[in-house]
């Protein structure tokens, strides 16, 4: 695909906070912004606040409101007004707004996203849409009804959700599956970066890795419950990324697992996945999932659920296991036990680990970052 020049084009990103370190979606946005800058575009980030090293020019949008709902509505209005005032050629909205050129909702359709979060919390999914989310749902209806010229879907899962909820939007839906940097994430780093990370973690047995800013939604409670069923097996667990780990550390202590778990607020994902023997992603909701893509690219098999958009990539036994539903600790324990034994077989030389890792990596060879960036650029330049 030929990537057109973007010189003299001003692209505006409309977001609450321009902070790429917050999570996978933010990392993806920042990567695309840097790509646009590298192609000669001017990138403006309209947000309430931004990290000092975030790409592009930050345009601060201030807002107040007596209630959270009023504040969210006002922020949406002011973000759009600020981008129009700056005369952006193309606007990309990554939060709910009344109108935007390109709507890029990494969380997918709002109702299934809220129901998944409620399910993860043990609540009633039918009561998920309340408070400020009612305002977000109104904005989503406006955007899918024509307020957005294009709606970028990060996976087939998201595309199906919008097709079902908003049938008239189909002509404006564009599927652009998330991509992964195949040079940064590769099995050949296991002997260097991965080995050094394992030494630093100082955990015995096959290494299970979990990474999430939002551990509740991504199934950490289910993972800990499953590992409690495998106390007699050799394993170590590293949990990377939680913003507030105290709750989860307490749960690990209550389950008698504390000494077998390492906690890291920040850990280079390439180091994490080249160190790990298995990526545990028993999520209640993950529309695409850089975690899954990066782990597979490193040759690390994945255990996830059908609630993950990237689960469709796991098609061979070597690549991992897709559980039919989230929250099933017994099924997760069985899948983990199988992967633990596979890791031990590899360490004994019963299988060829390098060949196995290449089979795992083959799942994402068609999802390289260059093709992803080119497809996003095509959306921006074809309006």
Residue pair 313/363 in contact (Cβ under 8 Å)? The answer is yes
- How far, in Å, CA of 357 to CA of 351, rounded? 11
Rounded to whole angstroms, how far apart are CA atoms 375 and 182?
17
Closest Cα to residue 295, out of 154, 369, 185?
185
* 298-303-308-312 Cα dihedral, nearest 10 degrees: 70
**pLDDT tens string 217-234:** 999 999 999 999 999 999
Write the DSSP string, 200-249. Answer: HHT--SSEEEEE-S-TTTTTHHHHHHHHHTTTTS--EEEEE--SS-HHHH
Predicted confidence band of residue 28 (pLDDT cuts 50, 70, 90): confident
Residue 17, token pair as written in the block: 């906070």
Give residue 5's pLDDT band: very low, low, confident or very high (50, 70, 90): low
- Domains along the sequence of the chain with CATH: 10-179+368-381 (3.40.50.2000), 187-364 (3.40.50.2000)
Q: Cα(51)–Cα(27) distance, rounded to whole angstroms? A: 12
Measured distance CA(56)–CA(142) in Å, rounded: 28
Q: Are 377 and 193 in contact (CB under 8 A)?
A: no
Q: Directed axis angle between helix 369-381 and helix 24-38, to 10°?
A: 70
Q: How many degrees, rounded to 5, is the angle at CA 336 between CA 274 and CA 323? A: 105
Query: Which of 42-51, 58-67, 156-165 is predicted least confidently?
Result: 58-67
**What is the widest separation between alpha-carbon atoms in the chain?**
65
Q: Model confidence at 350, in pLDDT bands (50, 70, 90)?
A: low
| Rounded alpha-carbon distances, angstroms, from residue 332 to 56, 219, 242, 258 | 42, 11, 21, 19
pLDDT top residue among 292 and 289: 292
Look at 227 and 131; give whichever has higher pLDDT.
227
What mean pLDDT do residues 303-326 have?
96
- Single out the residue of 265, 263, 293 nearest to residue 279, CA to CA: 293
**Cα–Cα distance list, 241 to 53, 144, 210, 220, 331 (Å):** 20, 33, 9, 12, 25
CA distance 262 to 236: 8
* Cβ contacts of 307 within 8 Å, gap of 6 or more: 116, 283, 284, 285, 286, 325, 326
Would you say residue 4 has pLDDT above 60? no
Q: What does the pLDDT average to over 167-173?
A: 97
Q: How many CB atoms lie within 10 A of CB 257?
A: 18
Contact (Cβ atoms closer than 8 angstroms) between residue 17 and residue 32: no
Contacts for 61 with CB less than 8 Å, ≥ 6 apart: 46, 47, 48, 75, 78, 79, 82
d(CA 154, CA 367) in angstroms, rounded, equals 12
The confidence score (pLDDT) of residue 1 equals: 40
pLDDT at 2: 46
Tell me how far apart the alpha carbons of residues 233 and 340 are, in angstroms, rounded to a whole number: 8
CB 17 within 8 A of CB 30: no
């Amino acid at each position: 695909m030929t990537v057109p020049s973007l010189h003299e084009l001003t692209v505006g990103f409309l977001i609450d906070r321009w902070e790429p370190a917050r999570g996978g979606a933010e990392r993806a946005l920042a990567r695309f912004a840097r790509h646009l800058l590298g192609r000669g575009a001017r990138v403006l980030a309209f947000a309430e606040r931004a990290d000092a090293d975030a790409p592009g020019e930050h345009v601060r949008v201030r807002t107040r409101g007596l209630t959270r709902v009023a504040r969210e509505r006002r922020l949406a209005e002011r973000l759009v007004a600020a981008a129009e005032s700056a005369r952006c050629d193309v606007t990309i909205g990554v939060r709910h707004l009344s109108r935007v050129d390109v709507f890029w909702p990494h969380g997918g359709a709002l109702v299934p996203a809220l129901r998944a979060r409620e399910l993860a919390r043990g609540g009633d999914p039918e009561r998920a849409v309340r408070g400020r989310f009612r305002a977000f749902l109104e904005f989503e209806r406006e955007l899918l009804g024509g307020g957005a010229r294009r709606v970028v879907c990060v996976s087939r899962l998201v595309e199906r959700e919008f097709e079902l909820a908003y049938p008239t939007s189909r002509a404006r839906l564009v599927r652009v599956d998330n991509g992964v940097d195949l040079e940064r994430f590769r099995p050949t780093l296991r002997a260097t970066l991965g080995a050094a990370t394992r030494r630093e973690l100082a955990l015995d047995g096959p290494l299970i890795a979990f990474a999430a800013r939002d551990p509740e939604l991504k199934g950490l409670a289910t993972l800990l419950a499953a590992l409690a069923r495998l106390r007699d097996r050799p394993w170590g667990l590293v949990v990377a990324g939680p913003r507030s780990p105290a709750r989860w550390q307490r749960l690990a202590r209550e389950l008698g697992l504390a000494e077998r778990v390492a906690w890291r607020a920040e850990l280079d994902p390439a180091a994490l996945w080249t160190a790990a023997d298995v990526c545990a992603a028993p999520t209640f909701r993950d529309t695409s999932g850089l975690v899954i893509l990066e782990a597979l690219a490193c040759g690390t098999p994945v255990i996830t659920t059908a609630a993950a958009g990237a689960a469709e990539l796991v098609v061979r036994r070597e690549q991992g296991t897709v559980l039919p539903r989230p929250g099933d600790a017994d099924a997760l324990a069985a899948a983990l036990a199988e992967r633990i034994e596979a890791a031990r077989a590899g360490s004994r030389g019963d299988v060829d680990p390098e060949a196995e890792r290449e089979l795992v990596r083959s799942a994402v060879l068609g999802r390289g970052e260059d093709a992803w960036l080119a497809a996003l650029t095509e959306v921006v330049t074809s309006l």
